[in-house]
Amino acid sequence: MSATMGFDPQEPEQRRQLRAALKAVGLTPGDLWLNYFSIGGSVGEYEVEAYLQGLLSLPSVQRDLLAMAANELIEDVPRLYAPYSDDPDLPDSGRDLGRGSSEPGRDSDEAGQETESAGGHDSHGRPGADEPTDPSGDS
């Protein structure tokens, strides 16, 4: 046992990382406790709050159940990502914001430039939609 309030050596760091994870995704101690309790945790909400504040030590099995409960909740939080230009989740209105009405072919011109620079394929390695075809078969 360590000298800090009877905690085992891993407990303070485990608590710190649990608190950081909850804060990063905006989960409350109440959210954590409810999920923890639903998966078989036996410590009350007040004790979980005291544990998170460093005022109470918990057995490793209960700390691990808290970690499991937190990880389940974190998995349910949507994550941000950077979309590609052809991502179906990218709203069409976002693509139109930078385009003026005087440039009707701008997007297709840019796609053609991208296709040429990628050797007839788009940035994802797929054949370009505007790829020129040579009827003689010569490249």
DSSP, residue by residue, 63-90 = HHHHHHHHHHHHHTSPPP-PPPTT-TTS
pLDDT at site 135:
53
Q: Whole-angstrom Cα distance, residue 78 to residue 72?
A: 12
Backbone φ, ψ for residue 70 (5° rounding): -65, -45
Position with higher pLDDT, 74 vs 107 = 74
pLDDT at 42 over 80: yes
Under the banding of pLDDT at 50, 70 and 90, the label for residue 104 is very low
Spatial CA neighbour of 35 closest among 75, 94, 3: 75
For the segment 77-101, what is each residue's pLDDT rounded down to a tens digit? 777 677 788 888 777 754 444 444 4
